[in-house]
Amino acid sequence: MLNDVTFGQYYPARSFVHNMDPRAKLLLVIAYIVSIFIANNFFGLILVTLALVFFILLSRVPFGRVLRSIKMILFLIIFTAILNLLFYAGGEDDIVLAEWWIITISWQSIINTIFLAMRLLLLVLGTAILTLTTTPVALTDGIESLLKPLKYIKVPVHELALVMSIALRFIPTLMEETNRIVAAQKARGANFETGGLIRRAKAMIPVLIPLLVSAFRRAEDLGDAMDARCYSGAKGRTKYKKLTFTWRDLLGLLFFAALITGIVLLNTYLLGRFDIIWQVQQWFGI
């Protein structure tokens, strides 16, 4: 039942993007998100889309695999799009196409809806590239390294990173355990498949309680095992895996610097308007 759930969605391959430093990738994703939000016209977003396609090609992850990550938030995208379409209050020069009770569909709201949906899609696809090309472990290392400055304001960065990596490490173990408990409860006549939502949720209680108890037992064992292997916090500890920036990361950073500059230029050049019709009109002098 739970066997096919693999944690994370890492797509193993050898590529330019896979080989980038996880810290660089995290920074680039932040830059990418920023660029999506500063782009205030369709041309800016098209530029971001081109950059995204370029990176997908570089990462050698099949397009289908990347697009699959939309599935999870498709509902959210549609939901916000519909709300936007129906309830967007346009400006005075807006052309109203349909009006009923509190619902108005206008030219502006259609444009706005498309723009918003595009932003969300780009957001999800871009971050998917990060998780598709970086293992959760590397990601944790990257986050730990990037958050290191917070140590000076007494944030336990090393401990947080360790907690995260141990959590990742225990996901398959606990998954296996869950399957075992489910099987054991089924053998005792438990029914997980029929009934309404509440009934099914209730049926999970005899699974969750043993799981919780065993998780605590495991935690205690792990604590002993860590103690026995001389763990004594971040103090005096060295790290085996070292992250290093390479020319790839430099290229990536330069690429994104160019992207953001391009978007800013488009924004100022197009006066911050994102009505595509208006833009076309301006261009052709209609």
Partner 1 sequence: METEQLANAPAETLPQDGTEAPAAPLPAVCFENVKYSYDEEEGGEFAVNGVSLTIAEGEFVAVLGRNGSGKSTLAKLINALLRPTEGKVTVFGLDTADTKKAFDIRKSAGMVFQNPDNQTVASVVEDDVAFGPENIGLPREEIGRRIEYALDAVGMTQFRSATPSRLSGGQKQRIAIAGVLAIQPKIMILDESTAMLDPKGRREVMDVVKKLNREQGMTVILITHFMEEALEAGRAVVMHRGEIVMDGTPEEIFARADELETYNLTLPRAAYICKRLQQAGMPLKNAFDAEELAEGICASLQRG
* Residue ranges binding partner 1 (CB under 8 A): 136-137, 165-166, 168-169, 172-173, 176, 218, 221-222, 224-232, 236-242
Q: Whole-number minimum distance, CB 180 to partner 1, in Å?
A: 12
Q: Which of 49, 41, 124, 50 is nearest to 80 (CA)?
A: 124
What is residue 173's three-state secondary structure? Answer: helix
Name residue, tokens 């005899």.
Answer: 206
Give Dmax (Cα) for the chain. 78
Query: Which residue lies nearer to partner 1 by CB, 195 or 233?
Result: 233
Q: Which is nearer to partner 1, 183 or 234 (CB)?
A: 234
Residue number with CB closer to partner 1 (240 or 283)? 240
CB of 226 to partner 1, least distance (A): 7
Closest CB to partner 1 among residues 89, 230: 230
**What minimum distance in Å lies between the beta carbon of 72 and partner 1?**
23
CA angle 112, 117, 120 (to 5 degrees): 125
The set of residues, in sequence order, having a beta carbon less than 8 Å from that of 165 and lying 6+ positions away, is: 137, 140
Q: Compute φ and ψ for 188, nearest 5 degrees.
A: -95, 10
The least distance separating partner 1 from the CB of residue 241, rounded to whole angstroms, comes to: 7
**CA-closest candidate to residue 123, choices 167, 60, 80:** 80
Shortest spacing between CB 34 and partner 1, in angstroms: 31
DSSP one-letter code for 152: G
- List, as own/partner pairs, every contact residues 109-115 make where C-beta atoms lie below 8 angstroms and the sequence separation is at least 24, other chains included: 109/84, 109/85, 110/85, 111/274, 111/275, 111/276, 111/277, 112/84, 112/88, 113/81, 113/84, 113/85, 113/88, 115/42, 115/45, 115/274
Q: Residues 115, 45: contact at Cβ < 8 Å?
A: yes
Q: How far is CA 75 from CA 67, 70, 92, 116, in A?
A: 14, 9, 31, 14
Kindly state the smallest distance separating residue 225's Cβ from partner 1, in Å: 4
Instruction: Tell me whether residue 84 or residue 214 sits nearer to partner 1 (CB atom).
Output: 214
Nearer to partner 1, 23 or 125 (CB): 23
- Rounded to a whole number of angstroms, the minimum distance from the CB of residue 142 to partner 1 is 15
Buried b (16+ CB within 10 A) or exposed e, 97-107: eeeeeeebbbe
Quick one: 152 or 240, whose CB is closer to partner 1?
A: 240
Among residues 1 and 205, whose Cβ is nearest to partner 1?
1
- Minimum distance between the CB of residue 10 and partner 1, rounded to whole angstroms? 11
